[in-house]
Structure 1
Amino acid sequence: MTADGAEGDGAVEHGAEANEAEANGAEASGTEETCRAVGPVVCAALGLEARAVRRGLTGMPVVVVGYRARRADRLPGDRAALVVVGFGGALDERLRPGDVLVADEIRAADPGARPVPCGAPRLLAEELIKDGLSVQVGPLVTTDRVVRGRERAIWAAQGARVADMESAVVAAHAGGRPVAAVRVVVDGPGRPLLHPGTIGRGLAARRVLARTGPALERWGALLVRGEGDQAADAGARTT
């Protein structure tokens, strides 16, 4: 779920096409290169989120997958992991606007759907904390609409910490690759999305999102080197 849902499809298409061209260029470089896993790819729902997270990245690619990840089939198949990054809605009061939730599992709203465990979530949280961000770790649920009121309380009672509308869809396209999800909180209990204060919270959340890039790249490097599982076993303290 994102705070900038009013942004038009034009920006989304532009970002998606640019990244699709990059993926196609990689495919043209030869079978040996494309079959080799080369680090994670960042998945953002909308152009605003993609532009924010790109500010802190030096080499990790960003693909705009669209609202509700309807363009998730454009994700490159040669990347080692998928990382969904963007805004989200808190489901309990322990998360405040500007806090970061690193998912340890991704749940789909569909009855009977199995949760998807995330790759080295505590290692990722630890890297974000090193950069001064307020981070918590917990379950994320993907819904097909903005969660409000009683529905928010129901998901919270089941242990979900944040709701979005893309992560489970992206996870379904992972093909066995590790998946991670990082959401910066914009709204939550007592701070509804449809409120004048959302503009200020959204701008603040975008600034936080722009600071996530270095940690994402450090985490990705550790994951590719095979150090993710070892570090995850050690755990990391989160606030």
Structure 2
Amino acid sequence: MTRLVVCTALRIETLAVRGRGRTTVRVGVGPRRAAAAVPRLPAGDALAVLGFAGGLTAAGPRPGDLFVATEVRAGERRVPCPWAADLLSLLTEAGLPAWGAPLVTHDRIVTGAARSRLAVDGALAVDMESAPLASGADGRPFVVLRAIVDTPDKPLASLGTPYRALLALHRLRRAVPVLSAWAARSAGHPRFPPAKEVRG
């Protein structure tokens, strides 16, 4: 059986992904905790980051939409995600369309005009953990699968946030079997070299 290692930040995200054939590691919130978790990531055939994210533009993904990172950015560093296309294809086949675009990892929750500043060169979503965890892939198939909770016009500090979080959680739960199918299919392919960070 393919062993899929899934990294989450929040307890509610962890509960959404637990199941046979998957090992879940709760790394905690933020890039520092995520980086500290990298040395203790267990061995596995594939690695995924799963959880919530924020949308960066009003024209981008909406609350509840699934999002797959085609590239993970942190400052000037850029880590490509070559397995994103496979996961996007499987999600679409399962009737779960998802956005595919670059994702930015930031050290704090992004609000207001900061979203626009991060939405350069096509970035459409932001999280706080993926960039450090990308280095933990070590050549294994690696993807980032997020569900959008907040957007420029639907910020976290608003009355609808609990509903949007539940919608995002529902979408993630529906996507977990697809994530497992991706891992099983990807494990039979040649491994990529460890992802190289590119300075933008």
Q: What's the TM-score bracket when you normalise by the shorter of the two chains? A: 0.7 to 0.9
CA distance in 2, matches of 1:218, 1:228: 17
3-state SS, counterpart of residue 106 of structure 1: strand
3-state SS, counterpart of residue 50 of structure 2: strand
Q: Which residue does the alignment assign to 2:186?
A: 223
CA distance in 1, matches of 2:141, 2:183: 11
Q: Which residue does the alignment assign to 1:81?
A: 46
- Name stretches of at least 5 consecutive residues in structure 1 with no aligned partner: 1-36, 230-239
CA distance in 1, matches of 2:72, 2:120: 16
Of 54, 57, 65, the match for 1:99: 65
Per-residue CA deviations over 1:69-100 (Å, capped at 9, x if unaligned) read 24333211x21232000000001122101111
Of 15, 18, 26, the match for 1:64: 26
3-state SS, counterpart of residue 86 of structure 1: strand
CA distance in 1, matches of 2:102, 2:74: 11
CA distance in 1, matches of 2:159, 2:144: 27
Query: Larger % of helix: which?
Result: 1
- 1:42-53 aligned at under 5 Å gives the runs 42-53=6-17
Return the letter of the residue paired with 2:52: F
Of 155, 172, 186, the match for 1:209: 172
CA distance in 2, matches of 1:193, 1:72: 28
Return the letter of the residue paired with 1:52: A
Alpha-carbon shift at residue 228 of structure 1 (Å)? 9.2
Q: Which residue does the alignment assign to 2:195?
A: none
Higher mean displacement: 190-199 or 169-178: 169-178
3-state SS, counterpart of residue 61 of structure 1: strand
Q: Which residue does the alignment assign to 1:13?
A: none
CA distance in 1, matches of 2:136, 2:41: 8
3-state SS, counterpart of residue 170 of structure 1: helix
Maintained 8 Å contact 1:101/1:185: yes
CA distance in 1, matches of 2:148, 2:101: 13
Maintained 8 Å contact 1:120/1:228: no
Query: Larger % of strand: which?
Result: 2
Counterparts in 2 of 1:104 and 1:228: CA distance versus 1, 3 Å: farther
Alpha-carbon shift at residue 119 of structure 1 (Å)? 3.5
Maintained 8 Å contact 1:53/1:212: no
Alpha-carbon shift at residue 180 of structure 1 (Å)? 0.9
CA distance in 1, matches of 2:120, 2:72: 16
- 1:27-38 aligned at under 5 Å gives the runs none
CA distance in 1, matches of 2:135, 2:11: 22
Could you tell me the percent identity over the aligned residues?
42
Alpha-carbon shift at residue 53 of structure 1 (Å)? 2.1
- 1:181-192 aligned at under 5 Å gives the runs 181-192=144-155
TM-score by length of 1: 0.73
Return the letter of the residue paired with 1:203: L
CA distance in 1, matches of 2:117, 2:105: 14
TM-score by length of 2: 0.86
3-state SS, counterpart of residue 141 of structure 1: strand
